[in-house]
Structure 1
Amino acid sequence: MAELQPAQADPVAGLIDIPLPPQVSLWPQTWTSRIAIVLLLSAAVAALWHFIHSWRVNRYRREALSELAGIGRRLDAGEAGSERLAELSMLVRRTALAAFPREAVAPLAGPAWLGFLDRSYGGQGFSEGAGRLLASAPYQRTPPDKDQLRALATLVRQWIRGHHA
């Protein structure tokens, strides 16, 4: 039988722990760094607020452009005529009522309406271009053709994207 050896002393037991340095703070040490961080955070919050605000304010534009895309699909499918013109006219009117004060938009008709649309986006497309259909087409005997309606739809798209209240 083998002899049992006496338990040897643990060689690590006599070592002394090395003192660790204090933990390093993640907070900047200088006031200028702290001020810069506060300014950056404030700018980020302001930019986020501006983005959310503009997203909410322009909701009516997104909805109008979506409806205009549906009208464009019906035009491409060959459904031209006075129904599409009426849809475009109502879309422009509803969009203007959503963007501008009702008192300024609701009473307008004919050349005054076309002039308002031109002034609100900075062009002459309504009073001198394809936009004249909005005022004259309901009184014509023949409905507008597909090309006229596409030109009007393009002008309405430009107005929806570019008008300013």
Structure 2
Amino acid sequence: MAFSTSKAIAQSSEHTPPSSYMLREMHEVPVPDSVSLWPQTVGWQVLGVIVVLWLAYMLYRRVWVWWQNRYRTEALAALDTLGNMQNMTPSERSQALFRMLKTVLVYLDSRHASLFSVPFLQQLDRYTPHSQGGFNTALGQRWMQSLVNPTITLDASEGKALLATSRVWIKAHEPRLGQRDDATNMPEVQDPKPSAKERQ
């Protein structure tokens, strides 16, 4: 009895072909070949290579522009820090602003290391289009005088105006404009050192 039962289970587990007339001639559907993502014709292959090269070039240009202008980001951050330091005196803020802009000028061209006073202001203006305003103004010259004469002090509004002009200059200046021939022939003025009498 047990043998017949196990035989019946084995027979039921075996696959039997369909007896239906409609299913008798059914065949397995073949799986189509996978479609390649690579173009099959030479023209599309050339176009694909051109697109890849163009994308690589655009990525290179973006990285190059970022690398060339990273000093602007650092200068703007330093300018923000300078503007937010409430414990600085107007004289200290004027000196710090001059050193920061002088650092940027020297980074652009080491020949600017000895510039001061009007030549310094003129060189800053050479790097910016005329429509952007400039430093060689009455305020700029008063700023230069305050660096060496302790009796001249810029008020809060003048300090804010200089910071705003500096921010515009950092963002808008074009290094190629400062490399003109007339910039190399510009007279240089050494940074004056306050005398002992002026310090008193």
**Pairwise TM-score range, normalised by the shorter structure:** 0.7 to 0.9
Distance in 2 of aligned mates of 1:138 and 1:101: 23
Residues 74-97 of structure 1: per-residue CA shift (max 9 Å, x gap)? 2xx364410000000000000111
Matches for 1:24-103 after TM superposition, within 5 Å = 24-74=35-85, 77=86, 79-98=88-107, 100-103=108-111
> Which residue is equivalent to 2:168?
158
Distance in 2 of aligned mates of 1:146 and 1:80: 10
Residues 120-144 of structure 1: per-residue CA shift (max 9 Å, x gap)? 1124421125333442222441311
How many residue pairs are counted as aligned between the two chains? 161
Distance in 2 of aligned mates of 1:152 and 1:111: 15
> 1:66 Cα deviation (Å)?
0.6
> Which residue is equivalent to 2:11?
7
Q: For residues 32 and 130 of structure 1, do their structure 2 counterparts lie closer, same or farther at Cα, with a shift above 3 Å needed? A: farther
> Which residue is equivalent to 1:21?
32
Among 138, 141, 153, the residue aligned to 2:147: 138
Distance in 2 of aligned mates of 1:69 and 1:80: 16
> 1:155 Cα deviation (Å)?
0.6
Q: Say whether the 8 Å CA contact 1:89–1:134 is kept in structure 2.
A: no
Q: Say whether the 8 Å CA contact 2:143–2:154 is kept in structure 1.
A: no
Distance in 1 of aligned mates of 2:34 and 2:169: 61
Distance in 1 of aligned mates of 2:152 and 2:138: 19
Unaligned runs of 5+ in 2: 19-23, 176-200
> 1:44 Cα deviation (Å)?
1.2
Among 110, 114, 138, the residue aligned to 1:107: 114
Which letter maps to 1:88? L
> 1:148 Cα deviation (Å)?
0.6
Q: For residues 61 and 53 of structure 1, do their structure 2 counterparts lie closer, same or farther at Cα, with a shift above 3 Å needed? A: same
Q: For residues 114 and 63 of structure 1, do their structure 2 counterparts lie closer, same or farther at Cα, with a shift above 3 Å needed? A: same
* Higher RCO structure (Cα 8 Å, ≥6 apart): 1
Q: For residues 149 and 12 of structure 1, do their structure 2 counterparts lie closer, same or farther at Cα, with a shift above 3 Å needed? A: farther
> 1:22 Cα deviation (Å)?
3.0
Unaligned runs of 5+ in 1: none
Identical pairs, percent: 27
Q: Say whether the 8 Å CA contact 1:133–1:152 is kept in structure 2.
A: no
> 1:12 Cα deviation (Å)?
4.7
If the length of structure 1 is used for normalisation, what is the TM-score? 0.83
RMSD: 2.5
